[in-house]
Chain A
Amino acid sequence: MFLNWRRGVIASVLIGTLAGSLLTGCGTGNKASGSGSAGNGGKVTTIEYWHVNSENFGGQTVRDLVQKFNEQHPDIKVVEKFQPNMYLGLMQNLQAALAGGHPPAVAQIGYNYLDYATANLPHLPVEDAAKTDPEGQAFLNNYLPNILNLGRVNGKLEGVPYSISNPVLYYNADMFKAAGLDPQNPPKTWAEVRDMARIIKEKTGNYGLYVQEPSDNWAQQAMMESNGAQVLTRTGGKARATFDSPEAIEAYQLMADMVLKDKTALHATWEEGTQAFITGKVGMYVTTIARRNYIETSSKFKVLTAPFPTFGNKPRRVPAGGNALFIFAKDPDQQKAAWEFIKYLESPEALTTWTKGTGYLPPRQDVTDDPRYLKPFMEQNPLMKPAVAQLPDAVPWVSFPGNNGLQAEQVLLDARDAILGGRQPAAEVLKEAAAKVNKLIGN
Chain B
Amino acid sequence: MKTKIPWWHFPLLLVVLGSLLPLIWMLATAWKTPEQVFNASLNPWPYPATAANFAYVMGAIPLGRYILNTFIIAFIVTAAKLLTSILAAYGFTQFSFRGRETLFYLCLLSIFVPFTVTMMPNYLFMSRMGWLNTYTGVALPQMADALGIFLLRQSIRSIPPSLVEAARLDRVGHGRILGRVLLPAIKPSLIALGILFFINTWNEYFWPLLMINDKSMYTLPLALQMFTNLEGGTNWGAMMAAATLASLPPVVAYLLAQRYVVDTFIHSGLKG
Determine whether A and B are in direct contact in the complex, meaning some CB atoms lie less than 8 angstroms apart.
Answer: yes
Taking CB atoms, residues of chain A closer than 8 Å to B203 are none
CB of B143 within 8 A of CB of A99, answer: no
Contact of A27 among B38, B121, B136, B225 (CB under 8 A): B136
How far does the alpha carbon of A274 sit from the alpha carbon of B233 in the complex, in Å? Answer: 7
Summed over the interface, the residue pairs from A and B with CB atoms below 8 Å come to a total of 108
Taking CB atoms, residues of chain A closer than 8 Å to B234 are 271, 275
Taking CB atoms, residues of chain B closer than 8 Å to A270 are 231-232
How far does the alpha carbon of A93 sit from the alpha carbon of B130 in the complex, in Å? Answer: 17
Taking CB atoms, residues of chain A closer than 8 Å to B80 are 19, 22
CB of B233 within 8 A of CB of A23, answer: no
With contacts A15-B140, A93-B213 known, is A7 near B231, CB below 8 A?
no
**Most chain-B CB neighbours within 10 Å: which of A28, A54, A291?**
A28
Q: How far is the CB of B159 from chain A (nearest CB, A)?
A: 26
Taking CB atoms, residues of chain B closer than 8 Å to A30 are 130, 132-134, 214
A233 at the interface (CB under 8 A from B): no
Closest to A215 in B: B231
Contact of A291 among B126, B143, B215, B232 (CB under 8 A): B232
A389 at the interface (CB under 8 A from B): no
Taking CB atoms, residues of chain A closer than 8 Å to B135 are 23, 26-28
Interface size class of B (residues with CB under 8 A): 35 or more
Closest to B87 in A: A18
B-facing residues in A63-113 (Cβ within 8 Å): 81, 84-86, 93, 96-97, 99-102
How far does the alpha carbon of A28 sit from the alpha carbon of B215 in the complex, in Å? Answer: 13
B230 at the interface (CB under 8 A from A): yes
A29 at the interface (CB under 8 A from B): yes
Q: How far is the CB of B143 from chain A (nearest CB, A)?
A: 6
Taking CB atoms, residues of chain B closer than 8 Å to A131 are none
CB of A84 within 8 A of CB of B225, answer: yes
B2 at the interface (CB under 8 A from A): no
Contact of B128 among A26, A27, A100, A214 (CB under 8 A): A100
B positions within 8 Å CB-CB of A? 38, 72, 76, 79-80, 121, 123-137, 139-140, 143, 210, 213-215, 217, 225, 228-234
Given known contacts A27-B137, A85-B229, A99-B124, what 9 new A-B pairs fall within 8 Å (CB)?
A: A27-B135, A28-B134, A29-B130, A30-B130, A97-B213, A100-B126, A271-B232, A271-B233, A278-B232
A positions within 8 Å CB-CB of B? 2-3, 7-8, 11, 15, 19, 22-23, 26-32, 54-57, 81, 84-86, 93, 96-97, 99-102, 214, 270-271, 274-275, 278-279, 291, 294-295, 298
